[in-house]
């Protein structure tokens, strides 16, 4: 049949790896974005109507699919399946993100594709894994965050936020695929988003359960800042910055573990202190006393830092979204 694609030629330690990406939205595409950022050639397979994220979140689609080529294939048709079989013969990796059982019904599952290429590394990403009582249940990122205990019951939100379970799963998939490729070990990889959520959440189990005295967002008189102060020496500097001489040497606040016990008392005073100052005034104090207090949002300083690193010859090992001067090509357009 006529060849329907060309493998992108990128540079990096994974140059030569060929990846066929059947996934949509975020976990799978982010995993293959990481591979592409390290030099792998990624061909993205989209249905005739395109990846769902093209309409759900165009900016996310553009950021997650930079550096990839696209072929359109209706996997419900013989011609679409043949295009995937043709690509699978040359690929080293196939990644899919359908619900369990879907790729078998479509005829692009591991057992089928390894018949065309016995050396394939085939990675499936799903919410709960391929087996078990929840395997067919639908879920998104926040669902898994909640199950993992990373969403406080009293939390009220109507924002998606940073989908860290999606990103964690994509990262784990990319790492595992890279290890298998370097080891020359083909086979099947079953990636569960729930596994990633539980693994990450278990590193800091008290993250949601207990309040922090000097960590989080604080309102200023004209906006808000974020503070991330944990260390005892930083606490001493914070007290000096705000003239808290009574607390700077107070034994019951000297250690972080003790400050956590008095989190509400400390936070109340911190709120009052920052509420009375403008954001600029707070940042001036932070600079003068070397405090981890930052503006909220992608400001010029942050973008300048990225540009400075690039100017110094730094080569980021993770992809930077297009708005942050990505080194990868733009996201693919959907062919007509």
Query: Can you give the pLDDT at residue 316?
Result: 54
The verdict on 95 and 196 lying in the same domain is: yes
- Per the structure, the count of domains in the chain is 2
Would you say residue 335 lies in a domain?
A: no
Would you say residue 330 lies in a domain?
A: no
The verdict on 43 and 127 lying in the same domain is: yes
CATH number, domain at 28?
Answer: 3.40.50.10540
The whole model's pTM is what? 0.84
Would you say residue 268 lies in a domain?
A: yes
The verdict on 250 and 120 lying in the same domain is: no
How far is C-alpha 328 from the chain's CA centre?
17
Q: What residues make up the domain containing 103?
A: 18-205
Q: What is the pLDDT along the chain (336 residues), one digit of tens a residue?
A: 345 568 888 888 899 999 999 999 999 999 999 999 888 999 999 999 999 999 999 999 998 998 899 989 999 999 999 999 999 999 999 999 999 999 999 999 999 999 999 999 999 999 999 999 989 898 898 898 888 888 777 766 777 788 999 999 999 999 999 999 999 999 999 999 999 999 998 888 777 677 899 999 999 999 999 999 999 999 999 999 999 999 999 999 999 999 999 999 999 999 999 999 999 999 999 999 999 999 987 666 666 776 777 666 555 555 544 433 334 556 666 653
The verdict on 194 and 130 lying in the same domain is: yes
Would you say residue 108 lies in a domain?
A: yes
Query: Can you give the pLDDT at residue 319?
Result: 54
Would you say residue 320 lies in a domain?
A: no
Who contacts 108 (Cβ-Cβ below 8 Å, separation ≥6)?
22, 75, 81, 84, 94, 96
Would you say residue 307 lies in a domain?
A: no
The verdict on 175 and 221 lying in the same domain is: no
The verdict on 261 and 185 lying in the same domain is: no
Would you say residue 334 lies in a domain?
A: no
For residue 54, what is the enclosing H or E element?
Answer: helix 53-56
For 263-272, write each residue's pLDDT tens digit: 999 999 999 9
Query: Can you give the pLDDT at residue 229?
Result: 95
Q: What is the DSSP letter of 275?
A: H
Would you say residue 326 lies in a domain?
A: no
Write down the catalytic residue from 86, 166, 290, 299.
166
The verdict on 146 and 249 lying in the same domain is: no
Radius of gyration, CA atoms only, the chain: 24
Whether 158 is catalytic is no
What is the Cα–Cα distance from 335 to 44, expressed in whole angstroms? 12
CATH number, domain at 287?
Answer: 3.30.1540.10
The verdict on 227 and 157 lying in the same domain is: no
For 89-140, write each residue's pLDDT tens digit: 999 999 999 999 999 999 999 999 999 999 999 999 999 999 999 898 988 9
What is the full DSSP assignment across 98-125? Answer: PPTTHHHHHT-SHHHHTTT-TT-EEEEE
* Cα–Cα distance list, 22 to 25, 95, 274, 288 (Å): 11, 6, 49, 51
At CA 239, angle to CA 233 and CA 244, rounded to 5? 150
Q: Is the dihedral of CA 202, 208, 214, 220 positive or negative?
A: positive
Query: Can you give the pLDDT at residue 320?
Result: 47
The verdict on 220 and 196 lying in the same domain is: no
Judge contact between 87 and 73, C-beta under 8 A.
no
The verdict on 194 and 224 lying in the same domain is: no
């Amino acid at each position: 049949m006529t060849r329907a694609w060309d493998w992108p030629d990128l540079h990096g330690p994974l140059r030569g790896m060929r990846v066929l990406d059947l996934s949509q939205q975020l976990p799978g595409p982010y995993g293959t974005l990481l591979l592409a950022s390290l030099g792998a050639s990624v061909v993205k397979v989209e249905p005739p109507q395109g990846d769902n994220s093209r309409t759900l979140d165009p900016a996310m689609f553009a950021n997650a699919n930079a550096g990839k080529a696209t072929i359109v294939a209706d996997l419900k048709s013989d011609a679409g399946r043949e295009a995937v079989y043709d690509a699978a013969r040359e690929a080293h990796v196939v990644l899919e993100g359908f619900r369990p059982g879907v790729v078998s019904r479509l005829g692009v599952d591991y057992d089928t594709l390894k018949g065309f290429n016995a050396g394939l590394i085939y990675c499936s990403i799903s919410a709960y894994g391929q087996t078990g009582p929840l395997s067919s249940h639908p879920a998104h990122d926040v669902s898994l965050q909640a199950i993992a205990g990373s969403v406080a019951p009293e939390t009220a939100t109507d924002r998606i936020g940073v989908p860290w379970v999606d990103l964690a799963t994509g990262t784990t998939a990319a790492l595992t695929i890279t290890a298998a490729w370097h080891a020359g070990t083909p086979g099947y990889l079953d990636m569960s988003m729930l596994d990633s959520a539980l693994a990450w959440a278990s590193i800091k189990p008290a993250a949601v359960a207990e309040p922090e005295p000097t960590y989080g967002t604080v309102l200023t008189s004209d906006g808000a800042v974020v503070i991330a102060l944990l260390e005892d020496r930083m606490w001493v500097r914070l007290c000096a910055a705000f003239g808290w001489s009574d607390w700077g040497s107070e034994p019951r606040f000297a250690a972080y573990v003790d400050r956590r016990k008095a989190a509400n008392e400390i936070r109340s005073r911190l709120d009052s202190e920052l509420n009375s100052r403008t954001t600029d005034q707070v940042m001036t104090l932070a600079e003068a006393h070397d405090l981890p207090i930052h503006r909220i949002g992608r400001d010029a300083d942050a973008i300048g830092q990225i540009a400075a690193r690039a100017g110094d010859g730094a080569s980021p090992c993770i992809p930077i979204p297009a708005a942050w001067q990505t080194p990868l090509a733009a996201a693919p357009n959907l062919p007509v």
